[in-house]
Amino acid sequence: MAPLDSPHSKMAAGRPRPGAVERRRRPGCPCGGPGARGAGPCSPWWLRLRTLSGGRGDPHRPRESFAVCSVPPAMDRKQKQAEKARPCGLLKQTALNKIVGRFQLHQEALPHLPVPPLQQTLDRYLLALEPIISPEELSHTQQLVAEFRKPGGVGERLQKGLERRAKKTENWLSDWWLKTAYLEYRLPVVVHSSPGVVLPKQDFLDRQGQLRFAAKLIEGILDFKAMIDNETLPVEYMGGKPLCMNQYYQILSSCRIPGPKRDSIVNYAKGKKQSRHITVVHNFQFFELDVYHSDGSPLTADQLFIQLEKIWNTSLQTNKEPIGILTTNHRNSWAKAYNNLLKDKTNKESVRAIEKSICTVCLDAPMPRVSEDIYKSRVAAQMLHGGGSRLNSGNRWFDKTLQFIIAEDGSCGLVYEHAPSEGPPIVALLDHIVEFTKKPETGKSPTVHLPMPKKLRFNITPEIKNDIENAKQNLNIMVEDLDIKVMVFHQFGKGFPKSEKISPDAFIQLALQLAYYRMYGRACATYESASLRMFRLGRTDTIRSASVDSLKFVKSMDSPDKSDQEKADLLRKATQAHREYTDMAIRGNAIDRHLLGLKLQAIEDLVSIPELFMDTAYAVAMHFNLSTSQVPAKTDCVMCFGPVVPDGYGVCYNPMEEHINFAISAFNSCADTNAARMAHYLEKALLDMRILLQAAPKSKL
């Protein structure tokens, strides 16, 4: 098990989860539109509250959303015509050269991630500890901080080391973060790292309905891929400033590769031999499906449907050995099994075909029938882990960055491997695809001869069979342990807090604080992630939602000694404090990544770990009992993920105008946590806060 403060230990700082903060577009927004509502000169698809989510791969894993305007500034008519004229097929090398230059020009114009002032971070660290540790513990930590911050002391030396690193690199944090938060994380990616997304249920009349929807979905993926390949995907903006677009170029044609101590990521999106195929899985059998014609044009939905029917008819019997189940195992065990699997030439060719594919499409068997009230919760579990070895877990390759899931019963969604990207590119892709699937067909495609999709074969030795059996057992234990509840809160959506001039995200975060306090009688370290995409190669930092102000509010809420007006004032003050922390974080001035950087700098310098990082208070601060994420999408969907500590909750939410979608997870192995109970307390907190605000008129804080 990783040390308590490692970003990926179960007992560690929570892996980043989506957590989001809505921000209104400022007057300087280059599109000149009226606000983040999809109105005005911007197309609604490109302009909306978008999740800028935190990395789910590590103990710092929540997310956050902002009003994002994705319209390039001042594009004249000729430029627009040139954009439309760009080909949508596979890129030729000449086009690729232009694209690289254009993308690099944008990236190089972005500022570098700053190293925050040391004294500022230490002061804010002590402030963040106040609501979650005892006064005695805080007093001890104050002494350690005083020692650490002495002029000429260890803190100053490590700070100078970080500043030197920042001058020499594109982003002083990004490589460290990728390794510590994801690639060196050894627990299975299933449940512990990879988020799932539950999309609206489809009504398939028959098997052909499932395949036609899958064909249209694949066509939508290729349509989005063309915008990435041709760089017609508009640059996103936040507060009038362009955002790093690098993650959009990492999510397609990429895959995680297991290693004995550290994994790696391969990407086949660039270069002369770009990926031309996707992987389709049905009945635990993998197929390589070419999705481009020889001239580089993509297959149409009609043509894709024909190919999917061929795959279906070739795989009517379930494969006895679900090879994909190996990807669900502990990373060290999977790395060993992976090397063993690749000793055989046929196996190696099949694995490489999966790794090089643009994405994976999983044609699932129907879920077992359940009552309507738990249906969405079961779908969420299917998206996260596939339901176990007897259901659809073998119908996956969990190392693949993007896996789209379409079941016979109409349940559908996605699971993604988190290392290459946060939520925004995934949400943008999903929204685009869902809209694309609603478009009417433009007419019958011309009949052309299409080659039979290639079945990927595996030779199963007794040793590989044993690895599969072990992976099945371990996965089924995880499946049984995951407690997940999807709740649609119908009483109001983000419109209500907005009407009270309160950030919807801050309102929901405060409701989570109130629910947790009522359940456990204390505050806890809470993770919500702030996007650092304002900086080159920026990933995330942490918004600490448990604050001195939030604790004052939750303590007052059920106190008979406070008037409604006092409680409402404390509520507003706490939401304002949350917004201020968010603003600080997105400008690179939060504390978590800076503290992590100082610690990693000490390790790199081969000096002993400073006492500050061995302190109990630091372990408490990094033990995120609430790992939360706002992932707003245009689509009425919800993202879900597992908790980041054994006694914690994973909470993801998508605030729509009139309702809020929540997914809450916990572990059954912890007697103190219960997802349905948390959902109940959260619903009550939201309603009580609304009643309070309606009862108490606004007053100047």
Does residue 540 have a known ligand-binding role? yes
Name the active-site residue from 60, 192, 277, 418. Answer: 418
The enclosing H or E element of 695 equals: helix 675-695
Residue in the block written with tokens 């310098």 = 605
How far the first Cα of the chain sits from its last, in Å, is 46
Does residue 500 have a known ligand-binding role? yes
Under a CB-based contact definition with an 8 Å cutoff, are residues 512 and 628 in contact? Answer: yes
3-state helix, strand, coil in the chain (%, to 5): 40, 15, 45
Widest CA span in the chain: 79
Separation of alpha carbons 574 and 227, rounded Å? 41
Question: Which residues neighbour 467 within 8 Å (Cβ) at sequence distance 6 or greater?
Answer: 326, 329, 333, 336, 337, 340, 341
Separation of alpha carbons 369 and 365, rounded Å? 12
Under a CB-based contact definition with an 8 Å cutoff, are residues 625 and 516 in contact? Answer: yes
Separation of alpha carbons 510 and 497, rounded Å? 12
Q: How many whole angstroms from its chain centre is CA 394?
A: 23
Q: State residue 15's pLDDT score.
A: 38
Does residue 185 have a known ligand-binding role? no
Does residue 503 have a known ligand-binding role? yes
Does residue 502 have a known ligand-binding role? yes
Does residue 665 have a known ligand-binding role? no
Separation of alpha carbons 492 and 500, rounded Å? 13
Amino acid at 388: G
Q: State residue 195's pLDDT score.
A: 96
Separation of alpha carbons 171 and 458, rounded Å? 41
Under a CB-based contact definition with an 8 Å cutoff, are residues 277 and 358 in contact? Answer: yes
**If DSSP states are collapsed to H, E and C, what string results for 296-316?**
CCECCHHHHHHHHHHHHHHCC
Separation of alpha carbons 282 and 407, rounded Å? 10
Separation of alpha carbons 74 and 46, rounded Å? 16
Q: State residue 273's pLDDT score.
A: 78
Separation of alpha carbons 61 and 529, rounded Å? 6
Strands 47-52 and 540-544, by their bridges, are: unpaired
Q: State residue 326's pLDDT score.
A: 98
What confidence tens digit (pLDDT) does each residue in 477-536 have?
Answer: 999 999 999 999 999 999 999 999 999 999 999 999 999 999 999 999 999 989 999 999
Separation of alpha carbons 300 and 292, rounded Å? 9
User: Could you give phi then psi for residue 606, rounded to 5 degrees?
Assistant: 60, 35
**What is the DSSP track for 587-600?**
TT--SHHHHHHHHH
Helix, strand, or coil (residue 654):
strand
Separation of alpha carbons 335 and 345, rounded Å? 17
Q: Which of 36, 19, 17, 18 is nearest to 27 (CA)?
A: 36
Does residue 505 have a known ligand-binding role? yes
Does residue 609 have a known ligand-binding role? no
Q: How many whole angstroms from its chain centre is CA 192?
A: 12
8 catalytic? Reply is no
Give the count of beta carbons closer than 10 Å to the beta carbon of residue 27.
Answer: 7
Tell me the residue ranges of DSSP E strands in 258-364: 264-267, 277-282, 285-290, 360-364
Rounded to the nearest 5 degrees, what angle is found at the Cα of 530, between the Cα atoms of 19 and 69?
95
Strand partners of residue 528: 543
Residues of the chain with pLDDT under 50: 1-100, 701
